[in-house]
Amino acid sequence: MKSKLTNKILSPESWQDYELIDCGNFEKLERFGEIILARPEPQAIWDKSLGEKQWTDRLHSRFLLDIQNSNGEKGIWKNFKKTPNNWSIQYCYKSMNLRFVLKFNTFKHIGIFPEQWSNWNFIFDSIKSLNTEETLILNLFAYTGGASLAASSAGARVYHVDSVKQVINHANENAELSKLSKIHWIVEDAMKFVKRQVSKGMKYNGIILDPPAFGRGPNGEKWILEKHLNGIIKDCSKILKEEKSFLILNLYSLGWSPILAENLIKQNFDFNELEFGELIINDSFDKKLPLGIYARFLR
């Protein structure tokens, strides 16, 4: 039987604690709970819908890039109103009730990727539908753990792998705040961890990959997306169970096509239906902001 391919744009409909208010001129204006932030957004190449004063009148804080920094990623937060150093927001779906601690740092990220909530729902529903005695989930490049929390809230045992201990600690805070357990925190290079699972003959019901364009492992191991992605996908195909399983691949590299994710999955996995496409969020003026690409299946 020929596998079905579905090219679909994922655009989450609503979230009480998050809103993309406006985007344009390489920035986005977002509300996280009651806190409104402006952050750089390289894909927002069009004009803003609101004027600059309308932005600054609403703003709590804006991230400003350090132009002296050669990699163009670090910067500072400039406060316009009294703003806490950290605060929390909530995400609910069916019986899933997740809480996230948000924090400022020298990068523009604050501890969450809101466009991922479509995948959190997919993870939760997939695990419930598998109906296995014990469901094992592997979350690679797992960051602060939104996918891990979604899997744990559905009753799975989760192996959360990230190379940065500080990020693992942040994910653990989110789990504690969400009152979730059965998550194993693993500070390790993702490629090394997966190869070890292959050698052990481990099998997982679900694998989630959310790799960066570039990164380093705890011992200085280099991760370069276009160089290493194909290899880790091949290894993941060896540790995903042939039945009652799912896989999610997210990619954020600018200029990449969803067809790249489609080809990688088609070449390495058997499935009945593969869904792939773009992750976007609509702002309040109905401008569509592309924020990544994905491919996923449930079998």
pLDDT one-digit tens code per residue, 33-74: 999 999 999 999 999 999 999 999 999 999 998 866 656 678
Query: Tell me, what's the pLDDT at 255?
Result: 82
Residue 83 lies in a domain: no
Query: Tell me, what's the pLDDT at 36?
Result: 98
Residue 273 lies in a domain: yes
Residue 75 lies in a domain: no
The answer to whether the beta carbons of residues 47 and 22 sit under 8 Å apart is no
CATH code for the domain of 131: 3.40.50.150
Residue 272, domain extent? 4-12+113-298
Query: Tell me, what's the pLDDT at 278?
Result: 96
Residue 104 lies in a domain: no
Query: Tell me, what's the pLDDT at 205?
Result: 98
Query: Tell me, what's the pLDDT at 218?
Result: 86
Residue at token pair 């989110």: 174
Residue 264 lies in a domain: yes
Residue 32 lies in a domain: no
Walking along the chain (299 residues) 10 residues at a time, the average pLDDT comes out as 88 92 98 98 97 97 81 86 96 97 94 96 98 96 97 98 96 98 96 98 98 86 91 98 98 89 97 96 97 97
What does the alpha-carbon distance between residue 43 and residue 290 come to, in Å, rounded to a whole number? 7
What does the alpha-carbon distance between residue 50 and residue 48 come to, in Å, rounded to a whole number? 6
Q: What are the pLDDT digits (tens) for 201-223? A: 999 999 999 998 888 888 888 88
Query: Tell me, what's the pLDDT at 247?
Result: 98
Query: Tell me, what's the pLDDT at 241?
Result: 98
Beta strands of the chain (E only): which ranges?
Answer: 4-7, 18-24, 27-32, 35-40, 61-65, 75-79, 86-93, 96-103, 136-140, 157-162, 183-187, 206-209, 214-216, 222-224, 246-251, 273-282, 288-298
Query: Tell me, what's the pLDDT at 72?
Result: 61
Q: Answer positive or negative: Cα dihedral of 137, 217, 210, 240.
A: negative
Looking at the structure of the chain, the number of domains it has is: 1
Residue 38 lies in a domain: no
Query: Tell me, what's the pLDDT at 122?
Result: 98
Query: Tell me, what's the pLDDT at 215?
Result: 84
Residue 222 lies in a domain: yes
Q: Which amino acid is at 27?
A: E
